[in-house]
Structure 1
């Protein structure tokens, strides 16, 4: 399948590392102009340098802004007033005892993982609708459906993101804009490596630690390994393309079979 996103402008929030960086690279490789987002100019510039090393000639735009705030969203719009492909990837996660999560921490997770996506969708969806083409993609998680006992506050936000996705898809009905979520399974990123080592013996080599983590904490996985960020990016690039024009309001799984369901 030949995917050509030439002429499209994309914004990927939280794209200085991990899944976001892989998505930015995938969209750039398909020809899109890609806004690389992080909170500080230094991190954004470093991420762009890394991406250019992976995709020489990529058309990248530095978007240093905290999208968890109204001010930050406004700064994004100043740099990229018209976005054709919005990928709400920014998110935080971590383990915590369910009875010890404070009100402030519940609010922080919701602000970062849900409201940042709502805020940017609200800002860019009208322009997409007026132009008759657009893609909004929210990066959700298997935790939205199989809520981990060690991070229910994270699971709650990802469940909410599925609802947000379906609702905005209905709002965009008939406009030529599609709105979908991608349910990412356990994925190999630097942050996840740290998370794994919070749960298993830190003295184990990574390959062994990963296997122990999947066996003890994610035994439902049919893949029986962590997913690589590029595998998530492949789905995002497809959903951002013209070829996915009839897919909207969906929750598409790249979860390694982790969610025990025959429905997508």
Structure 2
């Protein structure tokens, strides 16, 4: 399918959130995917990933995940300055605010004529964590989480007992978790903790560990694995076609 893109401002509990919407061109209604970016927000690789998904018959929303902490339209560079700012934002914004962002996007897509009502989530890096977190929302039917950071460590601020490991008990949809074995951000013991937690709470999930580094989906990066990225796209699309 050919894809069109448009910009919307969604009102959230913590202020206006710029959101890029990618969807099949022409008439019709489709399932929605909330697509959460890395700490750098909507970079060119993130835009291209969203376009690939939309071209397979989905409406894809890419929010500015740190909209409270940056001027509208901010995109951080893939450099030390951008990394430092993004990591600072990650350590500042609480999970509760991410939850209200997700709820606002759910409400937004449900009002649109181009959405048929079913919603999934997907993300990379912190976005993988936010997709996992989005699955706590009962309106999110499935989540595809790529090398999700900070779930195991609890380093994103939250109220006591509201960290993502603790909230796993509330996930009712299906998860697909993907981690790179050579990813230093989520070491083996962290992966085992997440996996055990999912099994303990009986969450319907698939688990995949691949020989890859962090950010292997990011085209243009030295760590990018094009062949593996293609497999991930196919797996995500299959998950969403089945569940949405």
Report TM bin, short chain. Answer: 0.3 to 0.5
More strand by share: 2
Decide which structure has greater helix share.
1
TM-score, scaled to structure 2: 0.46
- What TM-score does the superposition give when structure 1 sets the normalisation length? 0.43
The structure whose RCO (Cα within 8 Å, separation 6+) is larger is 1
Larger Rg over CA atoms: 1
